[in-house]
Amino acid sequence: MGCIISSIACCFCNAAAGLCCACMPSCKNSTSTRIMNGVIVLIITVLSALCLAPGIGDLLKRIPALCSETQKSYCENISGYSAVYRICFAGAIYYFFMSLLMIRVSSSRDCRAHIHNGFWFFKIALIIGTMIGAFFITDQQFITTWMFFGIVLGFLYILVQLVLLVDFAHTWNEVWVNAYEETESRIYACALLFTTFFFYGLSIAAVVLFYIYFGNADACVLGKTLTSFNLILCVIATVVSILPAIQEKTPRSGLLQSSIITAYVMFLTWSALINVPVAACNPTHHFNETTSGTTQSSSLKFTWNTGISLVVLVLSVIYACIRNSSHTAVGKLTMGGEDISRAETGSAPETSQHGQTVWDNEKDGVAYSYSMFNFMMMLAIMYVMMSLTQWYKPSAETMLLGPSYASVWVKAASSWCCIALYVWTLVAPVVFPDRDFS
């Protein structure tokens, strides 16, 4: 009993992060805090997804404490896309204010750093309290207004995700190339070739399907144009990646990164095309046009697009949480300070007799910007909200969700930004040879 009480008491301070990592090797305070925040975002994602489960609304309405005759207006908010908006609203508001509170925190000696790295019980209680309060918002304009915030902030997270994806692609290629050069094992060479051909094959198949299903009719100019334009951009990026001048400055660049970026661009293209609000040019329109019922508590279909988006989100959040901020792309993304390398590579104290230790490695300087990290978590939650509601627009007349051109152009613009970002990582060392891009 004493162990249980002491474990619960730990949740009131920064030892909660240690509990989260108790079954893992010793880790730094900067890493454990990011993992805890990542877990919070994942829990919010799961709760939001559960709200869209078929029949969940009818099940909750059977609970008298939640839905009585005098509380019918609140019953409409406890499930369906309305609940997704409210749950994500609570998480986003929390991380927004945490981002403001953590501006210019330079080391763990700052009293605000203790709030960021500890007090998990109170912070989780605050999020839950905000969620409960959000369910009492009955103004219908809340959904429409928050949806537009979601489009803008969700798009910003797509850009963050692109930075992480490009960084991941370069790291993946570098690890396998180094392993091949050190061991001269054909396994790594075959793995590089297979992975490259797999992603390119997937992309080519996607392009063919786009032309067949989203550009078959003569009136589907947008589908044909977007597919053709993105295909041309991907071909250009592939050619640029193997140019002699590029290979001379960045010898680790190659077709593996290009294939990964191409596949992701095709995924974004698909995400854009399934939001075209014209039935003749969108074969998914007949079952994605609205929710399955007549109220905002109705459930949305959990599509392949939603599933893939959430998988990519989870992987990007995990990557951002465990990746050292001393790494170039991640460090720039979180605006790490001058003491990043020392904080991230500092030696651990001796492991305690219990086998696991979380130590403070940020006394002389933070390993990442607390403010930017919280802001990035807020963007991730907004992306969850938009992905689960499939970037649909609520109709003011029916309060149903349907495809919109705004969603199409957000996804299309993000695909172009992805190509531009990747090409820039290739040509920047050539254009600015005096700068260090290592």
Task: Report the Cα 151 to chain-centroid distance in Å.
Answer: 14
Residue with tokens 């890493």: 31
How far apart are alpha carbons 220 and 243 in whole angstroms?
A: 35
| Residue 333: per-residue pLDDT | 55
In the DSSP assignment, the letter for residue 392 is P
For residue 360, what pLDDT is reported?
A: 64
Take residue 426 and report the two structure tokens written for it: 């290739």
State the Cα–Cα distance between residues 119 and 109, nearest whole angstrom: 16
pLDDT at 291: 46
- Ramachandran region of residue 335, left (φ > 0), alpha (ψ -120 to 50) or beta? left
CA distance 306 to 158: 14
Task: Determine how β-strand 401-402 pairs with β-strand 393-394.
Answer: antiparallel
Residue 334 and residue 325 in contact, taking contact as beta carbons nearer than 8 Å? yes
- Residue 260 one-letter amino acid: I
How many of the other CB atoms lie within 10 Å of CB of 416? Answer: 14
Bridge partner residues of 358 (DSSP): 27
Q: Are 227 and 214 in contact (CB under 8 A)?
A: yes
Question: Do residues 202 and 223 make contact, with C-beta atoms less than 8 angstroms apart?
Answer: no
Cα 134 off chain centre by? 23
**Element of type H or E holding 402:** strand 401-402
Residue 135 and residue 76 in contact, taking contact as beta carbons nearer than 8 Å: no
220: tokens are 């589907």
Residue 105: name the closest of 331, 368, 345, 376 by CA.
Answer: 368
| Dist CA 378 CA 41 (whole Å) | 9
DSSP sequence for 307-325: HHHHHHHHHHHHHHHHS-T
Tokens for 377, please give them. Answer: 């978590």
Q: What whole-number distance in Å separates Cα of residue 184 and Cα of residue 276?
A: 49
CB distance 298 to 235 below 8 Å: no
The tens place of each residue's pLDDT in the chain, 438 residues long, gives 444 444 444 555 555 555 555 555 566 777 788 888 989 999 999 888 888 776 666 666 665 555 655 555 556 666 677 888 889 999 999 999 999 998 888 877 778 888 888 889 999 999 999 998 888 887 777 888 888 888 889 888 888 888 888 888 888 888 888 888 888 788 888 888 999 999 999 999 999 999 988 887 777 888 889 999 999 999 999 999 999 888 888 877 788 889 999 999 999 999 888 888 777 777 776 555 444 333 444 445 556 667 777 788 888 887 777 765 445 555 555 545 444 444 555 545 544 445 455 556 667 777 788 888 899 999 999 988 888 887 765 544 334 455 677 778 888 998 999 899 889 888 988 887 777 655
